[in-house]
Structure 1
Amino acid sequence: MLFPLDTLILFVTASALLALAPGPDNIFVLTQSMSKGSKPGIFVTMGLCTGLIVHTTAVALGVAAIFQTSQLAFDILKYIGAAYLLYLAYLSFKSGASHHFNANHSKMSYFKLYRRGIFMNITNPKVSIFFLAFLPQFTDIKNGSMTLQIFVLGFIFIICTFIVFSSISLVAGKLGHWFNRNKNAEGIMNKIAGGIFTLLALKLAFTNR
């Protein structure tokens, strides 16, 4: 067995609690699910989890250390992420109530939501640095390849995140469906989402390593 059972239990518990803790990703899932529905929220979740694969690989291969040691690399990535969040805020404010909650979403629109989740996640350098600090705490040289251990822990973290975020999406989708019975509700939710994206963009832009 690659990891002792008590280590796995501790890691899974910590991962689930971290996924539940308010942050840019689960807030993003919450707002998208409330405004668009549970299924679009799950596609966003899939995108975010795909982004976590990138961060896991970065830690396993040592690339994440670059963002920890290079202020320039850190700043470039975070400003790209902040600009993208501002773009999402613009789209939310612009959309108003033009897209109905029960509107049919094409496969392309689901793909766009999936892609949006990926881009939002990978342009947050804090995730790579977090993984760089968090994952190695549960590794042990006695258990074999450190690279393999990082990949396995990252995979477990992704599963925990997917379960938690999907649950958030399902609950938020139902709340959004109830909220949208008011004809002005979607416009209000889009404005709220736009405000949240703006705040997240500012938070990311002014964050430090």
Structure 2
Amino acid sequence: MLAYLDEFLLIAIAHFFAVASPGPDFALVLKQSVQQGRANALWTSAGVALGILVHVTYCLFGVAILLAQSEAAFNVLKYVAGAYLAYMGLQALQAQANTNSVAQPQHTAHIESNFMALRRGFLVNALNPKATLFFLSLFTLVISADTPSYVQAIYGGYMAIATWLWFSFLSVMLTKDTVRAFFHKAGHWFDRGIGVILIALAIRVVI
């Protein structure tokens, strides 16, 4: 593995900037932290990490190249991803003010199950065309064709774990008592703002 250390460091740096940049994953974890609370946000983060494995898998099998060469297939992916983001954005726009006297997650009457949170995070990442392009570039431009498949799989595993740790960290920070107390008062406006951002991301993905 030491022979691939330089390559791994390039991948780790590129992945860090990609995962830390604002995008659908970040907006989703932010929204779930505010609306649903820490446990839901952590499961959502795990779903985002599992979505990474989808991109890694099809890159290892060369499907990403076929996807990039097929405009029709890529357009279908864009439209499905855009529709899903827009759907979540419209849901967030319907957020109502919290009238409870104790700070707690928004919409407590509609707390999602862990599976729903996991699925939501998974779908947002797995359907993200930006992630498709990122991993295609990574596996064709950064990772050498001579790098063994098992080493490339280790790279993918690292990126999934790093993604999970990053968004889990955000979930914990965004659901601290002081932050939740603030959102208890004005969280519905924040939810609606996130809704606008998700719809804007949906339009950007499609265009």
Pairing partner for 2:133 from 129, 138, 143: 129
What fraction of aligned residue pairs are identical, expressed as a percent?
A: 30
Q: CA 1:91 to 1:181, structure 2 compared with 1: closer, same or farther past 3 Å?
A: closer
Give the match for residue 55 of structure 2: 55
Give the match for residue 27 of structure 2: 27
Alpha-carbon RMSD across the aligned residues, in angstroms, is 2.4
- Taking the aligned partners of 2:154 and 2:141, their CA distance within structure 1 comes to 13
Aligned pair count?
A: 201
Deviation of the 1:59 alpha carbon:
0.3
- Taking the aligned partners of 2:84 and 2:146, their CA distance within structure 1 comes to 42
Give the match for residue 193 of structure 2: 192
Give the match for residue 36 of structure 2: 36
Query: What amino acid sits opposite 1:177 in the alignment?
Result: R
Deviations 1:110-161 (A, max 9, x none): 2111101111111123312211111344534555x2x323211111111111
Structure 2: state its 5+ residue gaps: none
Q: TM-score, normalised by structure 1?
A: 0.84
SS at match of 1:178: helix
Give the 5 Å matches for 1:1-209.
Answer: 1=1, 3-97=3-97, 101=105, 103=108, 109-140=113-144, 143=147, 145=148, 147-174=149-176, 176-182=179-185, 185-206=186-207
Deviation of the 1:72 alpha carbon:
0.4
Query: Which segment drifts farther, 73-82 or 169-178?
Result: 169-178
- Taking the aligned partners of 1:109 and 1:27, their CA distance within structure 2 comes to 19
Deviations 1:135-189 (A, max 9, x none): 344534555x2x323211111111111111111111122264131341xx23212
Contact 2:7–2:143 (8 Å) recurs in 1: no
SS at match of 2:62: coil
Deviation of the 1:9 alpha carbon:
3.4
- Taking the aligned partners of 2:15 and 2:120, their CA distance within structure 1 comes to 23
Q: TM-score, normalised by structure 2?
A: 0.85
Contact 1:65–1:129 (8 Å) recurs in 2: no
Contact 1:82–1:201 (8 Å) recurs in 2: yes
- Taking the aligned partners of 1:97 and 1:109, their CA distance within structure 2 comes to 22
- Taking the aligned partners of 1:3 and 1:47, their CA distance within structure 2 comes to 32
Runs of 4+ that moved beyond 6 A: none
